[in-house]
Amino acid sequence: MKPLAVTTDQPELAPRSWTTRRDEKTRRLAAVAGWLEDGVLPTSRMTEALELLIRPGDRVALEGDNQKQADFLSRSLAKADPAKLNNVHLLISSISRPEHLTLFERGIAHRVDFAFAGTQSLRVAQLLEDGQLEIGAIHTYVELYARMFVDLIPQVALLCAEKADRHGNLYTGPNTEDTPTIAEAAAFSQGLVIVQVNEIVDELPRVDIPGSWVDVVVQADRPFAVEPLFTRDPRHIGDLQVLTAMMVIKGIYAPYGITALNHGIGFDTAAIELLLPTYGESLGLKGKICRNWTLNPHPTLIPAIESGWVESVHCFGSEVGMEAYIAARPDVFFTGSDGSLRSNRVLCQLAGQYAVDLFIGSTLQIDADANSSTVTRGRLAGFGGAPNMGHDPRGRRHASEAWLKLLKNTGPVSRGQKLVVQLAETWKKGGEPTFVDELDAIAVGEKSGMPVAPVMIYGDDVSHVVTEEGIAHLHRAEGIDERRAALAAVAGVTPIGLRAQAQKTEELRRRGIVQFPEDLGIRRGDAKRSLLAARSIDDLVTWSGGLYTPPARFRSW
């Protein structure tokens, strides 16, 4: 290669436009301008407008969050004429509604990048097999949002809020969730921001997203869909879960000094929340543990809040029925000047990754190395946010008491570690072992042609596994064999548990690497549902002073 001379460094560049995205946006908006009044589109024009505002091949970020759904927009999009609108590349964190997949059946969309596909996961797998759907990648929520600022920048965002005013300012209500993040990705890349709202008003309670980020507002035919995903009825918590929860409180939270934490969703962690005001109180732990939370507003946290355990809760999203309770507890929850919650998944994930010392969550399967997954056969479910919470964040540089307790002495260059705790009963209700030689995820990954198996939490990130048998402090084990022995010691009569050797288990107990209930001074017979601060949804309502209003399906009275 011949070095270029100074004067020719800058070649004669062909004139080009640097405003193609902006020009295209202007062009599309002009096509619907006649229908807009103050930026508001008539509800009846929605499908027609989408056919003009979206072009074949566009990347379209459709707000299907973990909780709230821009379902008027997705239903309207699914009615589009595939001759006009096809081959869309859908960016959606949660494939959770039937019409999300109708888009693929009808050819309106073809490619998808997503994070979670709970109830629709079987159908995703089927459409994939039939060639009607192509998967870019399965992400966690925040990974998908991250890519919206890098290589998956959307041309169009279809969003969801409670209210808009005549200037396009938006009020999200408590389920702020991901709207500000997706709006930012589209609005500042010359993308179109189209928002469905429940109501258009003259004055908003507060502004969550400024009107200068929004192009088109439409009043939906009915309020947006949202599911109470984080409500756990205490009636379904059994004695075994109480036992496990007691072990977690006494064997992990207390000795490690866990003050800032995140709980996954599930009855196991709900049991912990409900034992704080009773069992936790009896251990004198109030004020010493579990003060600062990154957590959706779990109804099962109400008794701990009312008993004065909880200093703060920052939320990924909200929870149906908790609105009035949250509004009445602004010292605890992040609320606006209007009184209602401001949640924010990206910021709560940031907090969960870099500001808390412990993640604890349930899983469906664990292998001998503590790899775990909730993926089961035939389902391409994805993991939502669990992997981001359930790993040791290696970009962390500040220390805390708990983090330092996991410091491995590796000479002058060492670091602490986040506690990542996996909770499981050794056998599932269906009569399948939780501890298995090979995760179902491996077969699912192979069948779907995934480049790596869909593991939720990797074993080398897991510090503790807790079952009804006991606690395995995996981070204290020396070497892989001892780590496996510690895990086997709490794996009961499963394929993995049967490998435990009594003598090694005894040694591990002596060294504090394995702890059974008796090692913690916990009598199995004391682990009773009666210890729960609330044993029904009704009890939770009582604790809340009537402020919590559970959805109908949770009411038994």
* 277-296 binders of a copy of itself (CB under 8 A): 278-279, 282, 291-292, 294
The interface region with a copy of itself, picked from 4-12, 62-70, 92-100, 496-504 by CB under 8 A, is 4-12
- 494 Cβ contact list (under 8 Å, min separation 6): 426, 427, 433, 434, 435, 436
Listed ranges 70-78, 101-109, 181-189, 465-473: which one lies at the site for a copy of itself (CB under 8 A): 181-189
Range 219-258, binding a copy of itself (CB under 8 A):
none
Residues in 191-210 at the binding interface with a copy of itself, rule: CB under 8 A: 204, 206-210
Residues 412-441: x where in contact with a copy of itself by CB under 8 A, - otherwise, as a string: xxxxx---------------------xx--
Q: Min. distance of Cβ 68 from a copy of itself in angstroms?
A: 18
CA 454, CA 473: separation in Å to the nearest integer? 25
Of the pair 19, 556, the CB lying nearest a copy of itself is at 19
Task: Spell out the alpha helix ranges (H) of 148-290.
Answer: 179-187, 239-248, 254-256, 267-275, 281-282
Q: Which is nearer to a copy of itself, 78 or 260 (CB)?
A: 260
502 binds a copy of itself (CB under 8 A): no
Among 126, 307, 448, 549, binds a copy of itself (CB under 8 A): 307
Read off φ and ψ for residue 197, nearest 5 degrees. -130, 155
Which amino acid is present at 97? R
Using the contact rule CB under 8 A, the part of the chain among 121-129, 194-202, 247-255, 411-419 near a copy of itself is 411-419
Which residues, in sequence order, are bridge partners of residue 420? 359
For residue 434, the minimal CB distance to a copy of itself (Å) is 17
Out of 46, 442, 462, 474, the only residue in the binding site for a copy of itself (CB under 8 A) is: 442
Angstrom CA distances, 417 to 121, 263, 307, 367, 557, stand at 34, 17, 31, 22, 46
Determine the Cα–Cα distance for residues 112 and 95; give it in Å rounded to an integer. Answer: 10
Angle (CA) 406 407 408, round 5° = 110
Rounded CA separation 107/132 (Å): 7
Length of the chain: 557
Q: Does 272 bind a copy of itself (CB under 8 A)?
A: no
* Cα–Cα distance, 246 to 491 (Å, whole number): 18
Q: Which is nearer to a copy of itself, 217 or 533 (CB)?
A: 533
Choosing from 260, 304, 402, 491, the residue that interacts with a copy of itself (CB under 8 A) is: 260
Task: For the segment 380-409, give every residue that binds a copy of itself (CB under 8 A).
Answer: 383, 387-400, 404, 407
Choosing from 82, 535, 549, 551, the residue that interacts with a copy of itself (CB under 8 A) is 535
Select the span of 79-87, 99-107, 445-453, 509-517 touching a copy of itself (CB under 8 A): 445-453
239-248 vs 267-275: helix crossing angle, rounded to 10: 60
Pairing of strands 260-263, 358-362: parallel
Binding segment (CB under 8 A) for a copy of itself, from list 31-39, 248-256, 326-334, 475-483: 326-334
- Report residue 361: phi and psi, to 5°: -155, 165
SS3 364: coil
Q: Which element (helix H / strand E) includes 256?
A: helix 254-256
Give exposure, 6-35, as e/b (b: 16+ Cβ within 10 Å). Answer: eeeeeeeeeeeeeeeeeebbeebbeebeee
26: contact with a copy of itself by CB under 8 A: no
CB of residue 45 to a copy of itself, shortest distance in Å: 23
# chain residues binding a copy of itself, by CB under 8 A? 129
